[in-house]
């Protein structure tokens, strides 16, 4: 085994994924004992074949406070848990990740909080992930780091393991510089990200925002989608490393959802759902994590006005609102839950009748089968996010509509809107416009609905999550990454 600068040995895995979360659930095994099992998320579905082929390891947190369990093998990959103490969950996960970066990167829909102690925790935990990755990576391995929780990891890995190829993908938006500039540690974040050879973003605009942060904040030269980074940050001379920042819109396991939506039990469940709702003519559906970026209150305001004006209402039309529990100890999420529940309660009180309510609210998480049944059952899907990196729910709905019926009302402020332009696009801040779009979706002539759905299904079939992963990994393999003399910058 070769040794590196700090005496560390290289590991065994030639493909290493580093993400805040491990792709596992803790479930009861055959003998009743608790064991870890791979959870069927889109990312792991896409990466599993690569993992199996390359000998892959996945480094992540198991989602609860406490010591990390021992590494273990499942579904052809090595899972390496990283532990967080209760205090680190508070300062790193709930604090810097979800009360500083999350609101900042989503256009400050909620005010971000800046605390130096949270930043210190972010640095320490990023180092823990980076060390675990550096320890697992074989010589010349490929390491793929994911999302806003781990933006310092690329730079930290590069410092320890200059032999490995490093990719980073940001699943959420990257904000405009005027907003990003608020972050007291913006310089360190940009430097951490630039440890990668390739930086992937959801939309062109996100990549452009990052490149601008490099120019404005870090005073680095860019050419097209390339940033020139001093090869040795300690002595910024003329030798540079090329880092590419570009858009790679993520997608879903299209075939997997498609298959679910054809399964007899799922179709039977879809029929059962409609029966349970009192066989409405129109079932509207919203599915989100209960998060203030999703525009749930804006959606309820529009729907409430349609009820008040008598343009929609039970028993003919009902709204099913699935809001899965999320980050429940973070203050903004607690406040939002109360606001949503007050709004739903008020609407059902004002416009419901015995046996028929205008809103069926479910603060629960469901398995993929139940989600597919809901998508098959729903006539109109409402995606009203105020800002969303992509929005995979919109794509899942489309993937489940085999008969090309159904309508998607989709916020312009999602990455998905760049791809699914045949949806009924809305600005969720424009309540009147949203109401009209909902009514157009409810009353769309079948031929037009089919035309729109067909175009959207084509797009989701072409760009599924396997295609996304393959495109990113191919670009990473071909990323310049070499050290050379600096070029003249753009403009
Ligand atoms: C978004 C983020 C992910 C995150 C997920 C769930 O999709 O991009 O990184 O894992 O939300 O949030 P949670 O805080 O439960 O991990």
In percent, the amount of the chain with pLDDT more than 90 equals 84
Mean pLDDT, rounded, for 296-309: 98
The residues, ordered by sequence, that sit 6+ positions from 36 with a Cβ below 8 Å of its Cβ are 22, 24, 25, 26, 27, 62, 69, 72, 74, 79
Ligand 1 pocket, Cβ-based, cut-off 6 angstroms: 20-21, 147, 171-172, 326-327
Neighbours of 432 (CB within 10 A): 9
Question: DSSP label at 101?
Answer: I
Tokens of 11: 């590991």
Quote the pLDDT of residue 38.
66
Q: Whose CA is nearest to atom 8 of ligand 1?
A: 171
pLDDT at 171 over 60: yes
Residue whose Cα lies nearest atom 12 of ligand 1: it is: 326
Q: Give distance in angstroms: CA of 12 to centre of ligand 1.
A: 28
Query: Which of 289, 290, 328 should be mutated for ligand 1, with most atoms under 8 A from CB?
Result: 289
pTM (2 d.p.): 0.95
- At 196, the pLDDT band (50, 70, 90 cuts) reads very high
Q: Is the pLDDT of residue 360 over 50?
A: yes
- Which pLDDT tens digit goes with each residue over 383-408? 999 999 999 999 999 999 999 999 99
Report residue 454 CA to chain centroid gap.
25
19 CA distance to ligand 1 centroid (A)?
Answer: 10
Q: Which of 21, 60, 62, 202 to mutate to test the pocket of ligand 1 (most atoms within 8 A of CB)?
A: 21
Q: What 3 state SS string does 69-95 have?
A: CCCEEECCEEEEECCECHHHHHHHHHH
Strands 72-74 and 239-247: unpaired
CA–centroid distance, residue 201 to ligand 1 (Å): 16
Q: Supply the residue whose CA is at minimum distance from atom 15 of ligand 1.
A: 326
Out of 36-40, 44-48, 98-102, least confident range: 36-40
Q: Residue 233 above 80 pLDDT?
A: no
Candidate from 108-117, 148-157, 230-239, 281-290 with smallest mean pLDDT: 230-239
Pocket test residue of 24, 82, 147 for ligand 1, highest count of atoms within 8 A of CB: 147
Which of the 8 DSSP states describes residue 221?
-
Note whether 140 and 163 are within 8 A (CB): yes
Residue nearest atom 9 of ligand 1, based on CA coordinates: 147
Could you identify the atom of ligand 1 that is nearest to the CA of residue 327? 14
Q: Which atom in ligand 1 lies closest to the alpha carbon of residue 389?
A: 8
User: In the structure, how many helices (H) and strands (E) does the chain have?
Assistant: 18, 19
Dihedral (CA of 220, 226, 230, 236) sign: negative
Within 8 A by CB and 6+ apart from 431, the residues are 298, 301, 302, 305
Instruction: Tell me how far apart the alpha carbons of residues 381 and 398 are, in angstroms, rounded to a whole number.
Output: 9
Identify the band that residue 489 occupies on the pLDDT scale cut at 50, 70 and 90. Answer: low
80 CA to centre of own chain: 21
> Which region among 164-173, 195-204, 391-400, 480-489 has the lowest average model confidence (pLDDT)?
480-489
CB 108 within 8 A of CB 179: yes
Q: What value does the mean pLDDT of the chain take?
A: 93
pLDDT at 5: 53
């Amino acid at each position: 085994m070769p040794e590196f600068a700090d005496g560390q040995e290289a590991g065994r895995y030639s493909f290493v994924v580093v993400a805040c979360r491990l792709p596992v659930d803790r479930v009861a095994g055959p003998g009743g004992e608790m064991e870890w099992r791979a959870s069927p998320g889109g990312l792991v579905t896409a990466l599993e074949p690569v993992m199996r082929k390359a000998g892959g390891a996945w480094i992540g947190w198991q989602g609860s406070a406490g010591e990390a369990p021992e590494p273990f093998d499942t579904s052809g990959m090595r899972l390496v848990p990283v532990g967080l103490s209760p205090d680190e969950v508070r300062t790193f996960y709930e604090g810097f990740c979800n009360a500083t970066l999350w609101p900042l990167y989503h256009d400050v829909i909620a005010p971000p909080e800046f605390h130096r102690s949270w930043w210190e925790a972010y640095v320490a935990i990023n180092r823990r992930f980076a060390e675990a990755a550096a320890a697992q990576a074989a010589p010349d391995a490929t390491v793929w780091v994911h999302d806003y929780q781990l933006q310092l990891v690329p730079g930290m890995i590069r410092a320890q393991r200059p032999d490995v190829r490093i990719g980073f993908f940001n699943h959420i938006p990257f904000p405009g510089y005027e907003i990003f500039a608020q972050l007291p540690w913006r310089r360190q974040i940009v430097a951490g990200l630039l440890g990668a050879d390739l930086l992937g973003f959801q939309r062109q605009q996100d990549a452009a925002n990052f490149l601008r942060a490099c120019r404005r904040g870090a005073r680095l030269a860019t050419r097209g989608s390339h940033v020139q980074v001093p090869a040795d940050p300690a002595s910024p001379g003329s030798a540079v490393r090329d880092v590419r920042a570009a858009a790679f819109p993520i997608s879903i396991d299209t075939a997997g959802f498609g298959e679910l939506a054809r399964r007899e039990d799922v179709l039977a469940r879809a029929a059962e759902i409609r029966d349970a709702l009192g066989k409405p003519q129109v079932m509207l559906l919203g599915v989100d994590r209960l998060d203030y970026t999703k525009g749930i209150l804006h959606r309820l305001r529009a729907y409430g006005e349609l009820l008040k004006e008598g343009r929609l209402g039970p028993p003919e039309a009902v709204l099913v609102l699935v809001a899965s529990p999320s980050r429940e100890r973070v203050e903004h999420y607690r406040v939002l839950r109360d606001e949503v529940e007050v709004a739903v309660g008020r609407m059902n009180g004002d416009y419901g009748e015995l046996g028929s309510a205008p809103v069926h609210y479910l603060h629960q998480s469901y398995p993929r089968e139940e989600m597919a049944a809901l998508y098959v059952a729903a006539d109109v899907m409402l995606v009203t996010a105020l800002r969303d990196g992509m929005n995979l729910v919109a794509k899942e709905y489309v993937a489940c509509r085999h008969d090309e019926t159904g309508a998607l009302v989709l916020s312009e402020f999602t990455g998905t809107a760049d791809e699914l332009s045949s949806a009924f696009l809305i600005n969720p801040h424009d309540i009147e416009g949203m109401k009209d779009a909902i009514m157009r979706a409810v009353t769309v002539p079948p031929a037009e609905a089919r035309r729109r759905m067909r175009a959207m299904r084509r797009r989701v079939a072409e760009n599924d999550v396997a295609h996304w992963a393959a495109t990113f990994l191919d670009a990473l393999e071909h990323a310049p990454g070499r050290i050379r003399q600096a070029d003249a910058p753009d403009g």
